[in-house]
Amino acid sequence: MCGIVGYVGRRELAQDVILDGLRRLEYRGYDSAGIAVLEDGKLRVVRAIGKLRNLESSLRDLPVHGAAGIGHTRWATHGQPSEENAHPHRAGSVAIIHNGIVENYRKLRDGLRERGSEFSSDTDTEIIAHLIDEQRRAGCSLVEAVRNATGQLEGSYAIVVLDETEPGELVAAKDGGSPCIVSANEEAGFVASDIPAILPHTRRMVPLEDGDVARVAPDTLEIWDRAGARIERQPRDIKWDPVQAERGGYDRFMQKEIYEQPRAISDTIGTRALEDEGDIDLDGIEFDPDWVRRLKGVHLVGMGTARHACLIGATMIEQHARVPAIADLSSEYRYRDPVVDSDYLVIPVSQSGETTDTLQALREAAGRGALSLGIVNAPDSSIARDVDHVLYTHAGLEIGVASTKCFTAQIAALDLVALKLGLLRGTLTREQVRAAIIELRRVPRLVEQTLGLWDEIGEIASRYVHAGNFLFLGRGVGCTVALEGALKLKEISYIHAEGYAAGEMKHGPIALIDENMPVVVVANRSNTYSKVLANAAEVRARQGVVIAIAEQGDEEIDSVANEVIRVPAISDPLSSIVMSIPLQIFAYHIATLKGTDVDQPRNLAKSVTVE
Ligand code: M6R
pLDDT of residue 108: 94
pLDDT at 185: 95
Q: Is the CB of 161 under 6 A from ligand 1?
A: no
Strands (E), 494-544: 496-501, 518-523
Q: Note if the bond before 348 is cis, omega within 30 degrees.
A: no
DSSP state of 57: H
Ligand 1 within 6 A of CB of 355: yes
Look at ligand 1, atom 9, and give the residue with the nearest C-alpha.
304
pLDDT of 175 > 70? The answer is yes
Among residues 256, 405, 488, 606, which one is catalytic? 606
Helix, strand or coil, per DSSP, at residue 94: strand
Tell me how far apart the alpha carbons of residues 611 and 604 are, in angstroms, rounded to a whole number: 14
445 Cβ partners below 8 Å, 6+ apart?
262
Confidence class for position 242, pLDDT limits 50, 70, 90: low
**What is the distance in A from the centroid of ligand 1 to the CA of 93?**
38
In which band, very low, low, confident or very high, does the pLDDT at 608 lie, cut at 50, 70 and 90? Answer: confident
Residue 155 DSSP class: E
CB-CB contact of 200 with 211 (8 Å): no
Sheet holding 518-523, edge to edge: 496-501, 469-474, 518-523, 545-551, 563-567
Report d(CA 320, CA 421) in Å as an integer: 8
Indicate the burial class of 511 (C-beta count within 10 angstroms; 0-12, 13-18, 19 or more): exposed
CA distance 607 to 604: 9
| Helix, strand, coil percentages for the chain (3-state, nearest 5) | 40, 25, 35
Distance 9 CA to ligand 1 centre (A): 35
Ligand 1, atom 6, residue with closest C-alpha: 303
Mean pLDDT, residues 452-481: 96
pLDDT of residue 237: 86
Can you tell me the mean pLDDT for 346-367? 96
Q: 306 in ligand 1 pocket by Cβ < 6 Å?
A: yes
Confidence of residue 450 (pLDDT cuts 50, 70, 90): very high
By alpha-carbon position, which residue is closest to atom 14 of ligand 1? 402
Q: Render pLDDT for 591-600 as a digit per residue (tens, 0 to 9).
A: 999 999 999 8
By mean pLDDT, which of 306-315, 343-352, 450-459, 507-516 is the weakest? 507-516
Q: So what's the pLDDT on residue 556?
A: 94
Q: Are 496 and 514 in contact (CB under 8 A)?
A: no
Is the C-beta atom of 600 inside 6 A of ligand 1?
no
Question: Which pLDDT band, with edges at 50, 70 and 90, does 243 fall under?
Answer: low
- How much of the chain, in percent, has pLDDT values that exceed 90? 82
Residue 288 has pLDDT above 70, yes or no: yes
For residue 606, the model assigns a pLDDT of 77
CB-CB neighbours of 430 under 10 Å: 13
pLDDT band at 338 (very low <50, low <70, confident <90, very high): very high
Locate the ligand 1 atom nearest the alpha carbon of residue 351 and give its number: 3
Ligand 1 mean position to 19 CA, how many Å? Answer: 25
One-letter amino acid identity for 579? Answer: M
Taking CA atoms only, the protein residue closest to ligand 1 atom 12 is: 304
Check whether 246 has a pLDDT greater than 80.
no
Whether residue 401 has its Cβ less than 6 Å from ligand 1: yes
- pLDDT at 603 (0 to 100): 83
Mean pLDDT of 433-457: 95
* pTM across the whole model: 0.78
Active-site residue among 2, 180, 310, 406? 2
Q: How far is the CA of 368 from the centre of ligand 1 (A)?
A: 26
**Confidence category of residue 196, pLDDT binned at 50, 70, 90:** confident
Lowest mean pLDDT among 181-185, 237-241, 350-354, 395-399: 237-241
CA within 13 Å, CB half, 105: 21
**If you average pLDDT over residues 407-430, what whole number do you get?**
98
190 and 219 Cβ atoms separated by less than 8 Å: no
Task: Check if 305 has its Cβ closer than 6 Å to any atom of ligand 1.
Answer: yes
Please state the rounded mean pLDDT for residues 373-391: 94
Q: How is residue 448 annotated by DSSP?
A: H
What are the residue ranges of helices labelled H in 201-322?
Answer: 253-259, 261-269, 289-293, 304-321
Give kind and range of the element (H or E) at residue 415.
helix 405-425
Distance CA 367, CA 425 (A): 25
pLDDT band at 574 (very low <50, low <70, confident <90, very high): very high
Answer positive or negative: Cα dihedral of 444, 391, 588, 244.
negative
Active site residue 479: no
Q: List the alpha helices (DSSP H) in 429-514.
A: 430-451, 454-462, 477-493
Choice from 27, 194, 195, 305 to test ligand 1 binding pocket (greatest atom count within 8 A of CB): 305
CB of 607 within 6 A of ligand 1: the answer is yes
What is the average pLDDT across 133-143? Answer: 96
Give the model confidence (pLDDT) of 73-124 as tens digits.
988 777 788 888 999 999 999 999 999 888 898 999 999 999 999 999 989 9
Does ligand 1 have an atom closer than 6 angstroms to the CB of 403?
yes
Q: Where are the alpha helices (DSSP H) in 154-238?
A: 195-198
Rounded to an integer, the average pLDDT of 229-237 is 91
Rounded to the nearest angstrom, the distance between the alpha carbon of 144 and the centre of ligand 1 is 37
Please work out whether the CB of residue 486 comes within 6 Å of at least one atom of ligand 1: no
The closest alpha carbon to 430, from 270, 275, 269, 271, belongs to: 275
Burial of 203 (0-12, 13-18, 19+ CB in 10 A): middle
Task: Give the span between the Cα atoms of 483 and 500, in whole angstroms.
Answer: 7
Query: Furthest-apart CA pair in the chain: how many Å?
Result: 80
The pLDDT > 70 percentage for the chain reads 98
Mean of all residue pLDDT scores within the chain? 93
The whole-angstrom separation of Cα 571 and Cα 477 is: 11
Cα of 385 vs centre of ligand 1, distance in Å, is 19
3-state secondary structure of 46: strand
Query: Is the bond into 63 cis (omega within 30 degrees of 0)?
Result: no
Residue 351: CB within 6 Å of ligand 1?
yes
Q: 461 C-alpha vs ligand 1 centroid, how far in Å?
A: 24
Pocket flag, ligand 1, residue 304 (CB < 6 Å): yes
Q: How far is the CA of 304 from the centre of ligand 1 (A)?
A: 5
* pLDDT of 611 above 80: no
239 counts as catalytic: no
